[in-house]
Structure 1
């Protein structure tokens, strides 16, 4: 089994952004959602002008975690684990020559003894892009990816799985995928058949299906490229916390109105902070494990 560095690209691509102001009623709604998420963590009087965004702190359903932890405990009995630190991207080659790219703050578990005559099964926490080889003989046994919310069964294909906060998103680039939710979704379905260009987002008891997504962008994170499409501050904060381990603290409520679109290249939190500071015309200060966002004077 081989472990390699993810493909790198030299230089940086142009940063192309536009700012978009949001109506005040949407800003108020954003305030209400974020305040409800952090209310439980407040231990004293907190002024309205200092808001801590902890988007990734939303607790996963206890029942889902209970079932997930059952097979996570298999690590102690014959499982091999690959893990990435904050800001790290890692490429792993599996015994069947399939390739897995692990995004930052992610964990992949596989059986220590990979039996070629059986279905190939792995467990994922975080985000990964899979390039699965078709298995010769044995009827092309399935490759199965388990997460806390869904199971993804494939033959030979390329797809991305992203667990971010309470959301799990599966995007399919090539081949066919059968996605099975661990609990019944509100529309009564548990199984979704995906075709290339499809993207399924599962959050709590809801599933959203998008078609004809740009599959060239779904795994650009392997090359440290980030794409934003009318992206809110809540989403940006979740990304920063999940991939780099920094909590975003919004010191000026006006910043919550900002949305950005475009793409940028950033290998670390310093490059990402600089790009966001320029495009949003704000001041960003790094303090311990926090990024303080404030308006420029």
Structure 2
């Protein structure tokens, strides 16, 4: 079916034979009906612009001019508006049509662009187009498609740690790809770490579905998994020992009866340092305190004074005695 005839049908310019021909074409195939509806939406410069028919500018303008001339002859009998004004408004309509088509095409092309988020030593807090928020720890890298008009909101974690606060949208699941694992959520908050071939998922609130190698499981708050791309065994769900995994979200360390080995492990990871506790007795000590927006020097000073400990540095390693 020629698009010229479909356009005539949409604007009511077909004669009886042409109208019957178009209607027979519509009834012959459901795809034909869909094509007609899409062309109607574009013609009215409204609706969903994602499936815009191919438009030839010269042919489109010719169609408008032809219908303008033919239409003006018919309208002269019934309409007292001067032909000059009629031509003016039809020309404006044609211009708006073409501008609308290409504006929508340009918008869709922009939304399809891939956006990369990357950090070095800094921490980033970024709002996504759907209203979700991501918190990237240092040395993290992720991609997301700016085309949020599709069925899913897709993100790819390439490396590092990211904490997601996902805006709830039951019609558009939020999907994160990390290596060979896929994480799907509707609205929740959780942490994902990609290191080498391993993916770690920890749920803070809500529920998260993890798919890997034909396996599927649902994680609830305070549950976690670590999955390797090469893993073939059943995925094991563990309980999160503390909330220190998300220290980078608010730059806050909340130690609650935390073993001193864990304290220095988290501080070392956060600040890129290596700490070694020499004494076995010291490693068994428990520590409770909260630090917000404080420097590593300030935190270490408080911890050492609490237990009357000493610290020496040798070859970029800090020894606690």
Task: Give the TM-score normalised by the residue count of structure 2.
Answer: 0.51
Is the alpha carbon distance of 1:107 and 1:237 closer, same or farther for their aligned partners in structure 2, counting shifts above 3 Å? Answer: farther
Q: 2:252 aligns with which of 194, 200, 225?
A: 225
Distance (whole Å) between structure 2 residues aligned to residue 255 and residue 128 of structure 1: 35
Partner of 1:243: helix, strand, or coil?
helix
User: What are the within-5 Å matches in structure 2 for residues 87-236 of structure 1?
Assistant: 88-111=122-145, 113-124=146-157, 125-135=159-169, 140-148=171-179, 150-163=181-194, 168-182=199-213, 190-195=215-220, 197-202=221-226, 207-210=236-239, 219=246, 221-228=248-255, 231-232=258-259, 235-236=262-263
Cα distance per residue 1:76-98 (max 9 Å; x no partner)? xx643223333x33210011111
> Using the alignment, how far apart are the partners of 1:155 and 1:237 within structure 2?
35
2-structure distance, mates of 1:232, 1:173? 22
Residues 1:177 and 1:254: Cα distance change in structure 2 (over 3 Å): closer
Contact 1:152 1:179 in 2 (8 A): yes
Alpha-carbon shift at residue 214 of structure 1 (Å)? 7.8
Secondary structure, aligned partner of 1:85: coil
**2: CA distance, partners of 1:115 / 1:94:** 10
Shift of 1:143: 0.8
3-state SS in 1 of match to 2:310: strand
CA shift in 2, pair 1:170/1:229, >3 Å: farther
Q: Which has the higher contact order (CA 8 A, sep 6+)?
A: 1
Cα RMSD of the aligned pairs, angstroms, is 3.6
1:240 corresponds, among 264, 267, 274, to 267
* Alignment match of 1:272 (pick from 296, 299, 320): 299
Q: How high is the TM-score relative to the length of structure 1?
A: 0.55
Q: CA deviation at 1:108?
A: 2.5
> Which of 112, 115, 121 is the equivalent residue of 1:80?
115
1:229/1:162 CA distance change after superposition, 3 Å: farther
Hey, what's the Cα distance between the residues in 1 that align with 2:260 and 2:252? Answer: 18
Q: Is the 8 A contact 1:158 1:173 kept in 2?
A: yes
| Kept after mapping to 2: 8 A contact 1:161/1:171 | yes
5+ residue gaps, structure 1, are 1-77, 185-189
Equivalent pairs counted in the alignment come to 203
Distance 2:258 2:181 in 1: 25
**Structure 2: distance between partners of 1:109 and 1:155:** 19
**Paired residue for 2:87?**
none
Match of 1:47 in 2: none
- Rg larger in structure: 2
Q: Which has the higher strand share?
A: 1
